[in-house]
Amino acid sequence: MSSYNYGSYIGDALDAILSQSFRPYEVIIVDDASTDNSAEVINEFVRRDPIVKLVRNERNMGVHFVTERGISLATGDYIYGAAADDRILPTFFEKSIDLLEQYPQAGLCSSDMAYIDVQGNRTGEYRAADIAQASFLSPSEVLAELYKNPNYIIGGTTIFRRSALDEAGGFPPQLLSLCDWFTERAIALKHGACYIPEALFLWRRTNENYSDACFRDTERMFEVIGHTVELMRSPRYRENFPPEFVQFWSEWFGEQVIDAKWVRLVQHRNAFLEELGRCANSSSWGERLFRRALRFTGHAELLFCRLYLKRLRLRSILREIERTN
C-alpha cells in the first residue's frame, strides 16, 4: 500500500485488509513522507498486528518510487497494490487466490467494483465484462474482452502472480497513471487472466486520486498515449499487443481524453454563465461579465480545435511508429 496524506481513510482500508477471510502474509505500507496523521494511524495497526509493516520515505518521492519500493520489499507469490483511500470486501483475497491456484497459467485475477462516496456510502457498481461466472480467460479471450471494453481489467481489483509481474518488468514510470493499465494487459495478453463477475472492491470517488490528476492534464496524457504505443510496438511487448489492437486502443483512449477535456470546458462555461445570471441586476457588472463570457466561449472553441489537431498529430505518430517497426 502506498500512502500520502490519507490519514482520514487509511484506517478503513487497513481494517478491510486485515479482516479478510483469507489473511495476507504481510501488509507493507510505504508512506511517502505524509504531513498529516497517517503515521500515527498506521502505527496503531503495526502495534496490533505483526503482519503490518510501515516504511517511511524521508522525503516525498512520488507514486512510482513508492510502488516499486513496496514491490521490492514484498516476499509473497502474489502481490496486491492496495489504495489507502479505497476498500476491499471480506472475500476478495479468498476468491481471487482460489481462482489463481486453480489456474496456475493465469498471470493475474481481477473482478468488478462498486463506487463509494467520501463518507463510504455505496453509490453504484461497475460491471467490467459480460461473463456469467468466475473463470479463466485465455490470451485470445482476453483480447476479445478488451475490444469490448479496454478497461475490463480494473487496477484496484487486480492481484498479480509475482512471477508474471517480474517477467513483465513492473510498471513503466513514463506512462504515469496508465502504468498499471499497461502492465495488466501485457500480462493478461501473454498468460491469460482470471475474472470474477462480482464487485469485491470499493473505489472511493474523491476527484483527488492520482489517475484523476493525470487525466486532467490533457497535454501530458497525449504524450502518455505516444509512450504507450511505443512500448506496445517495442520488441519486448509487440507479441503481446496485436497491431490492430494498438490502433484501436490509441484512437479509443484519445477520444476519452478529448471528451473529458470538453466536458470540463462545458462545466466551466456553465458555471461562469450562472455567475453572469446572478450578477444581471447590476448593469455594469452584467455587461463586463457578458463580454468575458463571449471571450471564454471563443477560447473554449479554440481549445477544442487544438485538441482535435492533437488527435491528428497522434495518428501521425502512430503511423510513424508503424513504419519504424
Top mean pLDDT of 110-119, 216-225, 250-259, 284-293 is at 110-119
What is the helix (H) or strand (E) element at residue 321, kind and residue range? helix 283-324
- All three cell numbers of 293, joined, read 463570457
Q: Give the pLDDT score at 221.
A: 85
Nearest to 273 by CA among 257, 291, 253: 291
33-69: pLDDT as tens digits: 999 999 999 999 999 999 999 999 999 999 899 999 9
Nearest Cα neighbor of 308 from 272, 255, 266 is 255
Which CATH number does the domain 2-215 belong to among 2.40.50.140, 3.90.550.10, 3.20.20.10, 3.10.350.10? 3.90.550.10
For the segment 194-235, what is each residue's pLDDT rounded down to a tens digit? 999 999 999 998 766 666 676 678 888 888 999 999 999 999
Between 124 and 307, whose confidence is greater? 124
Q: Quick one: pLDDT at residue 91?
A: 98
Average pLDDT in the 76-85 region? 95
Which of these, 57, 139, 134, 131, lies nearest to 102 by C-alpha position?
Answer: 134
pLDDT class of 276 with cuts at 50, 70, 90: low
Question: Of residues 70 and 269, which shows the higher confidence score?
Answer: 70
Q: Would you state the pLDDT for residue 56?
A: 95
The DSSP 8-state label assigned to residue 83 in this structure reads B
Residue pair 53/26 in contact (Cβ under 8 Å)? The answer is yes
DSSP-derived letter for residue 299 is: H
* DSSP assignment of 97-164: HHHHHH-TT-SEEEEEEEEE-TT--EEEEE-----SS-EEE-HHHHHHHHHH-TT-S-GGG-EEEHHH
Choice between 163 and 259, residue whose per-residue pLDDT is larger: 163
Query: Using 50, 70 and 90 to split pLDDT, how confident is the model at 168?
Result: very high
Reported as type and span, the H/E element at residue 272 is helix 243-278
Helix, strand or coil, per DSSP, at residue 86: coil
170 forms bridges with which residues in the sheet? none
When pLDDT is cut at 50, 70 and 90, the band that residue 266 belongs to is low
Mean pLDDT of the chain: 86
Q: How confident is the model over 288-323, as pLDDT tens digits?
A: 555 555 555 555 555 555 555 565 566 665 556 555
Q: How many residues does the chain have?
A: 325
Minimum mean pLDDT range among 22-31, 38-47, 248-257, 278-287: 278-287
Residue the block writes with cell 488527435: 311
**Residues 158, 161, 165, 168: what is their CA dihedral angle, to the nearest 10 degrees?**
-100
Q: What is the mean pLDDT of residues 178-204?
A: 97
The stretch 231-242 carries a mean pLDDT of 96
What are the residue ranges of CATH 3.90.550.10 in the chain?
2-215
DSSP per-residue codes, 169-230: TS--GGGGGGHHHHHHHHHHHHH-EEEEEEEEEEEE--S-SHHHHHHT-HHHHHHHHHHHHH
The model's pTM: 0.83
Report the phi/psi class of residue 176: left, alpha or beta, with left for phi > 0 and alpha for psi in -120 to 50. Answer: left
| Whole-number Å distance between alpha carbons of 193 and 239 | 17
For residues 171 and 68, give the distance between their C-alpha atoms in angstroms, rounded to a whole number: 8
The mean pLDDT value for 82-100 works out to: 97
